[in-house]
A and B are shown apart, each in its own frame.
Chain A
Amino acid sequence: MLDLMPSLRRYARSLTRSDVDGEDLLQDSLERALVKRGQWSGGSLKAWAFSIMTNLYRNDTARATRRRTAPLDDAQDVPSTLAPPGDPLERRKLVAAIDSLAPDFRAVLMLVVVESMSYREVASLLQIPEGTVMSRLTRARAQIARILEADNVIPMRRSE
């Protein structure tokens, strides 16, 4: 499990909007995994841990609501020494576009892009058909493209 910490931490942070929420999600997931460790079927520990985290993320409505109502503060959360290179404005727009994605879409995008998982791995981890992974990925990218084109907006919609 300790070996998985870096990728779990990265995935948690890629799902949530802030460092605090990311660490919260990581800790909740570890707690959950430890409490439920009897249910681990002996398959891939990584897939199991990732699916626990994804489910916690997807179903934690409190966290989701906070994320949606909080002002966008992502870029500032990354200490400047860690900040990735690139035009800060462009990055900020991309962050806003990602933040507008519904949890299911965001999870798929992050598993594919950041965690470099194959579509099949993502499908089995989320227990959805591979076709659904593809359609979520397609729609996530279409939405990002739309928002980058619209060239503005920080999503502030209330959870409904």
Chain B
Amino acid sequence: MSDALNPVTENDLHAYADGHMAVDDAARVETWLAEHPEDAARVAAWRSQNAAIRDMFAPYATTRPEDAALLAVQARRPILERLPLRAAAAVLLFALGTATGLGLPSLLGAPATATPIFKQASEAYAIYAREVRHPVEVWAGEKDHLVAWLGKRLGEKIVAPDLASAGYTLVGGRLVPVDGVAGALLMYEDKSGKRLTLLLGRTAKKNETAFQFASNGAVETLYWMDNGLAYAVSGEISREALRAVADLCYRQFQPA
């Protein structure tokens, strides 16, 4: 009746379906729905979906006997055991601060922006190489997809270097933040399960640098920049072995 003066908006329909409406407003919407069967049908569909979705997850709203222990044990867990998680949290903070650009909650902390590439590389190694179940996002079985995907995110065609002559085979790769933009982390493994990571990130300038070593605890990193990309190989291996791997990478990243 008073449609023109008091139109029912799309938002009103959702609020009505979700039961978030004052009584007066709800009456107004009901009047509208009586005159607009299409809207009424949509609201009815949302309501039945709401009920179905609620039913779907309602069985999970339970406590389990181990819950109290879960909270207590975690609080008391030895510091050493928690370190990888803390490191993971640090990477998450970094990703949150830089990768999404969504204006994230300040409680998540400030983004780390000035971390040198070798430090980012050794941290990525420390986190992901020790992951047993989920070291990579995409496994080597889908190598073509992996390099195409990472290359696209990186904005540069890449290859996964063949390190077989050094005794390492590709495990897979994942997307990681490098200097606040998408970078690629490739992981390799030798027969004994010892792992190496190769981090690739974009650099602001197209400069070229020599190979440079850096140590971070037990993790050695060898890094260089070449043609707009920064490369860093990290592992808990000797500098000589790392050097051999970096040579292989460097040669295979050269344009033919």
Binding site for B on A (CB under 8 A): 1-2, 5-7, 9-10, 12-14, 22, 27, 30-32, 34-36, 39, 41, 48, 51, 55-56, 58-62, 65-66, 78, 82-86, 90-91, 94-95, 98, 109-110, 112-114, 118-119, 127-128, 134, 137-138, 141, 144-145, 158-160
**Total cross-chain contacts (CB, 8 A):** 134
Q: B149: which A residues are within 8 A, CB to CB? A: 158-160
Shortest beta-carbon distance, B25 to chain A, in Å? Answer: 13
Shortest beta-carbon distance, B153 to chain A, in Å? Answer: 8
In the bound assembly, the distance between CA atoms of A118 and B56 in angstroms comes to 20
- Give which listed residue, A9, A10, A35, A118, contacts B89 with CB less than 8 A: A35
Q: Is B4 an interface residue (CB 8 A)?
A: no
B175 close to A55 (CB less than 8 A): no
Q: A119: which B residues are within 8 A, CB to CB? A: 15, 20
- What is the interface of chain A mostly: helix, strand, loop, or mixed? helix
Q: A51: which B residues are within 8 A, CB to CB? A: 105, 107
B52 close to A91 (CB less than 8 A): yes
In the bound assembly, the distance between CA atoms of A130 and B213 in angstroms comes to 50
Q: A90: which B residues are within 8 A, CB to CB? A: 52
Q: Is B240 an interface residue (CB 8 A)?
A: no
- Give which listed residue, A1, A34, A114, contacts B57 with CB less than 8 A: A114
- From B62-70, B116-124, B202-210, B243-251, the one touching the partner chain is B62-70
Shortest beta-carbon distance, B228 to chain A, in Å? Answer: 22
Interface residues of B in 27-60 (CB under 8 A from A): 42, 45-46, 49-50, 52-60
Contacts known (A6-B63, A13-B60, A94-B52); A127 close to B105, Cβ less than 8 A: yes
A137 close to B14 (CB less than 8 A): yes
B61 close to A61 (CB less than 8 A): no
- Give which listed residue, A13, A36, A62, A82, contacts B137 with CB less than 8 A: A62
Shortest beta-carbon distance, A109 to chain B, in Å? Answer: 8
A118 close to B61 (CB less than 8 A): no
Q: Is B18 an interface residue (CB 8 A)?
A: yes
B85 close to A78 (CB less than 8 A): no
Q: B96: which A residues are within 8 A, CB to CB? A: 55, 59
Q: A55-B96, A159-B137 are in contact. List 14 more A-B contacts (CB 8 A).
A: A1-B71, A6-B60, A7-B61, A9-B61, A14-B60, A31-B85, A48-B107, A55-B104, A82-B59, A94-B56, A98-B53, A113-B50, A114-B57, A138-B10
Shortest beta-carbon distance, A72 to chain B, in Å? Answer: 14
A39 close to B59 (CB less than 8 A): no
Interface residues of B in 1-23 (CB under 8 A from A): 10-11, 14-15, 18, 20
Give 1 or 0 for each of B214-256: 1 = CB within 8 Å of chain A CB.
0000000000000000000000000000000000000000000
Q: A95: which B residues are within 8 A, CB to CB? A: 56
Q: Which of B20, B103, B145 has the most C-beta atoms of chain A within 10 angstroms of its own C-beta?
A: B20
Q: A110: which B residues are within 8 A, CB to CB? A: 53, 57
Q: B55: which A residues are within 8 A, CB to CB? A: 84-86
